[in-house]
Chain A
């Protein structure tokens, strides 16, 4: 680290913090992950900043049964941004500091209150978009929300349920079309 607090390239290879967790017993993700225990090495943020970030993301997008391992993918993406861009590193450092000490240990209503207070800041807007664009785009999230992903290799849904909804009447032929 340079004296002015801005990272130089050599710093990017150093581990600045670590975030660890363990997949819940019976989590559907356990089938996809190589091991129940996971660890995320941070290259720009500290362990404490990582834990605050994880708690913030869990508060912004709370899915109680969605494992911390999926939320950690957002922390990884933010950490990568902070490692790549000194401006982002400052944005995250100051933003996380503004949430106050012990944020991660507070109750959900208190965490919501703290985030509401900074809702209009560039830090929050950056974090919200980063969280949304990362959390719901991982294979682990696909499994959780039931999205089936890539389908070309399976021949599409033409014979795999594109029209399997049975709780509404069928569409008359004139307004639909033949199965090719």
Chain B
């Protein structure tokens, strides 16, 4: 492992080591570019991951406070965790369900296809679908995605048998065990999935792709990576000309450090990325870095979510098997006849008995509530993941609440759009139909999710600098050597789980940064 000097202004600083930052750090280092990778969390491993769910939660979760407001479920349930994200080397790729569908050509031109819907700030992506698809296919190869790149699907679990039979009876055609960044056969130096059902707690055999044990050690092997764990960046600094010069961070001992940089790439996941740019405000940039458009933090999207639990007369044992290996694709289309713009996936999901009530049953108590839990053995679970509408007023800002270092935390404000509500109502109705077609005697549904997992849009890519924060390469419109490398750059959310697209954009961004460094443009 390499160590670079704090005064070395030739390094690229990458902040965050998840899907975006971990991939980007690997791609830059294998091109010979020196990278200092700053990660707020500790470094775990397959061996240190635990299958005691509460312990895993404590080990991986970002537990520093965040606040929420608006009319969405996290605010309504007073959730102490409005976004369930991680603080660990590998970021959310340690914790994710590894669901990797693609964005469609229609979704990339949402403004064009959906029209100017009142109360939204819809935009078209400044990237052509064919251009993005090249990198998506490359990402699918690297992540060993099932049913893509020649990989077989995962075998059907009990939970998926329920989804499959119900969905087919309900008339759906595109129902299968999913596109997942989980090895269905041994490859890439990693083993195959042994159906543990502990995807969210960190995969103890590494069948699920994570930058923790792929890109990061490969980047270290180049001799060009200096990974500093437990290093929380609190400020990005710039010179009089408005060029980024380095970052200030707290090291593992809590001491303040400064790292010089030739360029800075921020990949902290939208809440932390937005917060850091806002905290970096200065006389020259009084509203935060890269925010001359006043778009930073706005257009926050988090996907329309909803859980459906079906209870059957016979056992399902949903906790056994890969957590999310099942997908219904038919509704992931733009079909205005359904009464809303955009589409959604129905995805398989399972829960351990402790997480089920917290995640999927966030309301209620008493006899009726307890009777749901009594049927844990006989339960199947699905969730919808749908496109939500960007709105200028749905926004990440700095909260009145402060963290342990005294810095304001992120506040996540969402007022759901009528389109979000219509999409959720349709998705929940169809999910219920699927469960009932499979023979469910009782169906329980939650209105929304008490936490967001996908955080998008707050530094969106735009062709016109007035409409967003970054250009089509995630380079900020205002500062040439400042990049955003996570889901913040999505111009709209689409319906697909975002990680595959985040990796694809990081692969593309690395090529661009290499070219710009070589041309001495940054």
Contacts and interface: CB of A to CB of B under 8 A. Distances in A.
A5 B243 CA distance: 57
A165 B176 CA distance: 17
B51 A149 contact: yes
Interface in A116-175: 125, 128-129, 132-133, 136-137, 141-142, 145-152, 155-158, 160-165, 167-171, 174-175
Main DSSP-derived SS at the A contact region: loop
Contacts of A157: 194-197, 320-321
Give the interface size class of chain B.
35 or more
Contacts of A142: 353
B218 to A, nearest CB: 24
A170 B164 CA distance: 9
Contact of A132 (B52, B320, B352, B358): B358
Nearest to B366: A112
Interface in B331-376: 352-354, 356-358, 365-367, 369-370, 373-374, 376
B376 A145 contact: yes
B354 A165 contact: no
A60 interface: yes
Main DSSP-derived SS at the B contact region: loop
Contact of B357 (A136, A169, A175, A177): A136
A178 interface: yes
Interface residues of A, number: 46
Nearest to A133: B358
Contact of B161 (A156, A158, A165, A179): A165
B177 A171 contact: yes
A151 B205 CA distance: 12
A155 B197 CA distance: 12
22 contacts: A61-B365, A63-B373, A137-B53, A137-B54, A148-B319, A149-B352, A151-B197, A152-B204, A156-B194, A157-B321, A162-B157, A163-B155, A165-B162, A165-B315, A165-B316, A169-B165, A171-B177, A175-B175, A176-B176, A178-B184, A180-B184, A180-B186
Interface of B: 51-54, 78, 146, 152-158, 160-162, 164-165, 175-177, 184-186, 192-198, 204-205, 314-317, 319-322, 352-354, 356-358, 365-367, 369-370, 373-374, 376-377, 438-439
Across chains A and B, which 3 residue pairs bring their CB atoms closest together, nearest first?
A156-B194, A177-B153, A137-B354
